[in-house]
A and B are shown apart, each in its own frame.
Chain A
Amino acid sequence: MSFFENFAFEAGVMARSFGEYMRGPALRVGVTGLARSGKTVFVTSLVNNLLAHGRLPVLAAAAEGRIARAQLDPQPDDAVPRFPYEEHLAALSGPGRHWPQSTRRISQLRLRIEYARAVGWAPGPARLDLDIVDYPGEWLLDLTLLDKSYARWSNETIAQSRAPARIPLAGAWLAHLDGLDPQGRLDEERAREAAILFTEYLRAARADAYALSTLPPGRFLMPGDLEGSPALTFAPLPVEEDSEPTAGSLAAMMQRRYESYKTHIVKPFFRDHFSRLDRQIVLVDALGALNSGPTAMRDLENALTEVMRAFRAGRASALGAIFRPRVDRILFAATKADHLHHASHDRLEAILRALTAKAISRAKVVGADIDVIALASVRATREALIRHDGEQLPAIIGVPELGERIGDQVFDGAAEAAVFPGELPENPESLFDGEALALAEADNALRFVRFRPPIYPKSTAAPHIRLDRALQFLIGDRLA
């Protein structure tokens, strides 16, 4: 190789790395949300629509025909599980068509989008590496633990579980707690029992009928691969806040485990994953909370406010030292908008706005753009109008899941039905008033049933509602 060729090659390499430096590395988009908010379906549908050139009219680059192609690439972090896109897509569109398994741990997928740049000095072909990071929203709630001592967390959690709405759920655990002596001798069997009962209480509160949300520590619900490890085998005990537990006591061990939970689980997640995100979408299952009642709505509001704390630039000393988030766009999305007639989408958005109002006002310091939309990652219904008893009701048609019920109608998971889920109130505040939880159907003016995934031709991408708008908000500027 002649000197000149060598020089040209080196110059080319330098120019390219300079270009990459200028362009910035890949764009990392975090997808999160509490359990059953539709994270997996969202990622699957997003990737599917980009890969298969789905209809995305609001995504400017797609509408202008500037996206040449998209493909899956090997992800950059070898230590993080890959998002099993193909499996989830098969679940959605396969013969048995069912909703894919939920997110239990962090996973990642890299999508390479080749597009034509339309602005700037160098219009022409360009590439965007989109890293999608999917993780349970419960983990974000753990951030609040970093500031709390074991004693304080214990007392708060116990007080919360004694609230009237939660008593029936926490009964077994509280009874067990009464028989425990925090200063007594350490007994692994009893500790395990307490942890199991505590976890069961958290699980029960998450169940469909209650749909409560603020339940740290998040790993108890989403243990990932740490299930059964000592760091997850602790539970709150009634201890004094400013007294040191005696060495060798049950309380001392619980406290040590609580601290190692923070050191080995909470901090690494924020350091290695969360702090590296550029964009974030928070999916919210408002319909589940609406089904349950006002207490669940308030609880969801608290949870979202807590989630937002994670995005707040770490002013509080403990947080600032660990990470400095650089998220510059946050989108709150109410999922499952296809469970409503589109005439109600405005109201659903208003409800989400009310849910996130506290969170958003807190986020002013973050300096991030925040938006709120109602979307359906995979649209499972079509719209219809019901005439019944002299009323005209905007409704949706779909196949409700096996066992879902509305009134005296129980569905078999095969027949199509036209469903009127009730009318969302014009004033979202009214949904937060009251103490009710797990409302019986007759008392609730709203009833959202779950639908099976839609049947759509294999050759096309999954149908959706406003997925393109979410994309435009999250990555549109990088495809300009």
Chain B
Amino acid sequence: MSDPRPRPRAFRLDDAGVAFDGRPAAEAPRAEVRTETAPIPDKSASEPLDAGEQAIEAATGARRRWRPSLGALVWTGLGGLVSLALGLWVDDLLESLWARAHGLGWLGIGFAVLLLFGVVGLATREIAALSRQRRIAGLHADLALAHAGDDRPAARVAVARLVALYAARAETAAARAELQRVMTEIVDGRDLVEIAERALVKPLDARVRAEVAAAAKRVSLVTALSPRAVLDVLFVAAQMVRLTRRIAEIYGGRPGLLGFLKVARAIAAHLVITGGMAVGDTILQGLVGHGIAAKLSSRMGEGVLNGLLTARVGLSAMAVCRPAPFQAVKRPSVNDVAPFLFGGAKE
């Protein structure tokens, strides 16, 4: 048989001519056998997500299944009653307007119709924004899972969804075409996810990082210069809202009010979960930086601290709004986006 494959063979371990696990054997052992102790990987069960991914999933609740709870009952009931009360009130109002004068009644009906249209429009937009945000979170979770499990079919489906997400962006045309081509080739699931991340999401990362850096810089500067504490609290809050919206938009979300609240909640949860992890790098450095800055001036120290906080919020927003997990690209730290906060006055 002209088979290049190696032939089957066997060696008895008590054979003197076989060196087994470093046991002394004949001068020139015929063969050497070394035990491998690594456990057999269960390739079909995906390896667990890393801590950062788990934090993001927990924060966005992408995998959370809806479960009936007493709280939901309370809110459903209350919401229904309040809606009924509002309806009753509008009805009463229109009736009394009608009783006063028919013209007033018509006017009231006109306003009610306007209100109805406005509410329906707003609700539609909010729902669309929410579902878009949820889709991005789900896509993130699916990509992470496909990457962890090296699951080729799942990765193909998820990457196709990622491509569809950016279909309306002209500047991604080349990257999308490249990905469409790669998807038809024989590429493993893990590699495919990384290729997609590099091609589509990495350029967005740069913009997001610039936004975070700019916001952190603004906040630290304004805090250092502002005459009153109330003003800089307001400014920091406004900057964080703005930053969050910008990041969500850059990554393809269009958060309205509810969508923004959802993202904000995810960011808060993410900050809480990762707070402990961050102690090691950023906070300590932050405190050191704060110490040095505070020596120069207490306002400047506060500025550094507020800038640091903004950068942390920005990074959390980045993590929960990003449609792909950080795999091919290194997860940025505060140090990466706002180095000027640590190096004294260095920019």
Give the dominant DSSP class at A's interface: mixed
Task: Give the total of A residues in contact with B, Cβ under 8 Å.
Answer: 45
Q: How far is the CB of B250 from the nearest CB of chain A, in Å?
A: 36
Q: Which residues of chain A (448-479) have a CB below 8 Å from chain B? A: 449, 465-466, 468-469, 472
Q: Which residue of A lies closest to B13 (CB)?
A: A416
> CB of B295 within 8 A of chain A?
no
Residues of B within 8 A of A387 (CB): 31-34
Contacting pair A445 B5 (CB below 8 A): yes
> CB of A423 within 8 A of chain B?
yes
Q: Which residue of B lies closest to A383 (CB)?
A: B36
Q: How far is the CB of A349 from the nearest CB of chain B, in Å?
A: 8
Q: Which of B11, B12, B30, B32 has the most CB of A within 10 A?
A: B11
Q: How far is the CB of A54 from the nearest CB of chain B, in Å?
A: 14
Contacting pair B9 A407 (CB below 8 A): yes
Q: How far is the CB of B19 from the nearest CB of chain A, in Å?
A: 9
> CB of A100 within 8 A of chain B?
no
Residues of A within 8 A of B3 (CB): 445
Say which residue of B1, B7, B35 sits within 8 Å of A384 (CB atoms): B35
Q: How far is the CB of A58 from the nearest CB of chain B, in Å?
A: 4
Contacting pair A58 B45 (CB below 8 A): yes
Contacting pair A385 B33 (CB below 8 A): yes
Interface size class of B (residues with CB under 8 A): 20 to 34
Q: Which residue of B lies closest to A466 (CB)?
A: B42
On whether A384 and B34 interact (CB within 8 A), knowing A406-B8, A417-B11, A419-B10, the answer reads yes
Contacting pair B44 A466 (CB below 8 A): yes
Q: How far is the CB of A146 from the nearest CB of chain B, in Å?
A: 36
Residues of A within 8 A of B38 (CB): 383
Per-residue contact bits, chain A 437-451, to B (CB 8 Å; 1 contact, 0 not): 000000101110100
Q: How far is the CB of A476 from the nearest CB of chain B, in Å?
A: 11
On whether A445 and B10 interact (CB within 8 A), knowing A384-B36, A385-B34, A465-B40, the answer reads no
On whether A386 and B14 interact (CB within 8 A), knowing A422-B7, A443-B1, the answer reads no
> CB of B22 within 8 A of chain A?
no
> CB of A364 within 8 A of chain B?
no
> CB of A169 within 8 A of chain B?
no
> CB of A46 within 8 A of chain B?
no
Q: How far is the CA of A407 from the CA of B30 in the complex (A)?
A: 15
> CB of A342 within 8 A of chain B?
yes
Q: Which residue of A lies closest to B32 (CB)?
A: A387
> CB of A121 within 8 A of chain B?
yes
Contacting pair B8 A417 (CB below 8 A): no
Say which residue of A345, A386, A446, A449 sits within 8 Å of B11 (CB atoms): A386
Q: How far is the CB of B118 from the nearest CB of chain A, in Å?
A: 39
Contacting pair A445 B8 (CB below 8 A): yes
> CB of A391 within 8 A of chain B?
yes
Residues of A within 8 A of B9 (CB): 386, 388, 393, 406-407, 409, 419-420
5 A-B residue pairs with Cβ-Cβ distance under 8 Å, sorted by A, are: A386-B11, A397-B13, A397-B33, A407-B7, A425-B5
Tell me the B residues contacting A by CB distance below 8 Å: 1, 3, 5-14, 18, 20, 30-36, 38, 40-45, 65, 67-68
Instruction: A58-B42, A345-B43, A449-B10 are known; give 20 further A-B pairs, CB within 8 A.
Output: A120-B67, A345-B40, A383-B38, A385-B34, A385-B36, A386-B31, A387-B31, A388-B9, A388-B11, A395-B33, A407-B7, A411-B12, A415-B13, A415-B14, A418-B10, A418-B20, A421-B8, A422-B8, A423-B5, A466-B42
